[in-house]
Amino acid sequence: MSAKKTPNNKRKHNSSSSESDQDSIFHDAPVSKHSTPSPRKVVTKHGSTDSDDSEDEGMQIKIKTPLISPLEAMKHLENIKEKQGSKDPSMKHAISSYCSEVKGIDSKELQASLTKYLHIAIQPTKLNLSTGSAMMNDFFNGPNALKYIPGFPHKPKNLLFCYAALNDIDNGLGMLKEAADRMKGDEKGRAKAEKEADKQRAAYAESLQSFLEINEDKLSEIQKKNIQTTFKRIDKSMHPEKYLREKTPGSAKRKKKEPMSAFEHFKSLSSNLYIDLEPEKRTKKLQKKFDKLEPSVREVYEKLALRD
């Protein structure tokens, strides 16, 4: 007799899971709990088994479309380096940017091939000590390592996530859309959610300051600057009066405030997103997120812009 299935409880609202970049091209197939573990094999296009050391140890390669020739990929790599010039972005960004602009070839297939070659070529277990340790040290001293340090505070939820949590909206695929739709005609609910979001931001800022004081002698200068910048950005958004400059005699009068666009409203209401990034990078990241919003969610911000 099989055990009765019990209904799943509502999932907790987790803003970080929805904001993370889940755009990896290759995924391992899920493994059943009841299956017997078997050694992984690298399967080629023709179904043969290749145990050569040049392949990633224990990595199952799945290719939906044939890879381009390494000789052709090498030419594209040179073009990518030439395109970036003196800039030194991440490989993921450089490949994505190049493939989105290349002409006369399927950009998705090209990006898939270059990304797969990147995974095959850069095998962490085969890096020599000097290169591998240098890369690890760069990570340990950078801002991305902060979240792995015990005691580092979790980012607060934004307005829509707070509204959803306060109104028992299930954390499914349509959660943001439902929250945005219901919030349109719910001024009291919106005000309550804004109060909760502000409360979480204030607690986050206080926790950041406390974390910095406790770990100041252990953190790198880059990490300390990142925390200070994040704290200042939050504090400035909550207490703008603290950052007002005194008017000097003969200074020009301020121009009349320009109406905010739909994106600017989205940006102002997403003060908790990507707060660890520099202003310019954060704006670009938010713009991409705004461009991908569902029409119904985007409509909320467009209506706010029309009110200005």
What's the whole-number mean pLDDT along residues 3-30?
A: 44
Cα distance between residue 196 and residue 271, in whole Å: 13
Q: What is the pLDDT of residue 40?
A: 42
Task: Categorize the per-residue pLDDT at 63 as very low, low, confident or very high, splitting at 50, 70 and 90.
Answer: low
**Tokens 């095998």 sit at which residue?**
123
What's the whole-number mean pLDDT along residues 23-42?
A: 41
Q: Which of 44-53, 76-85, 299-308 has the lowest mean pLDDT?
A: 44-53
Average pLDDT, the chain: 77
Task: Categorize the per-residue pLDDT at 28 as very low, low, confident or very high, splitting at 50, 70 and 90.
Answer: very low
For the cut 90, the answer to whether the pLDDT of residue 23 exceeds it is no
For the cut 70, the answer to whether the pLDDT of residue 237 exceeds it is yes
Q: What is the pLDDT of residue 169?
A: 86
Helix (H) or strand (E) holding 233: helix 221-238
Q: What is the pLDDT of residue 2?
A: 47
Cα distance between residue 127 and residue 120, in whole Å: 12
Q: What is the pLDDT of residue 24?
A: 39
pTM flag (> 0.75): no
For the cut 60, the answer to whether the pLDDT of residue 87 exceeds it is yes
Residues 6+ apart with CB under 8 A from 48: none
For the ranges 171-175, 223-227, 274-278, the one whose mean pLDDT is highest: 223-227
Cα distance between residue 147 and residue 157, in whole Å: 16
For the cut 70, the answer to whether the pLDDT of residue 219 exceeds it is yes
In angstroms, how far apart are the furthest CA atoms of the chain?
Answer: 87
DSSP β-bridge partners for residue 129: none
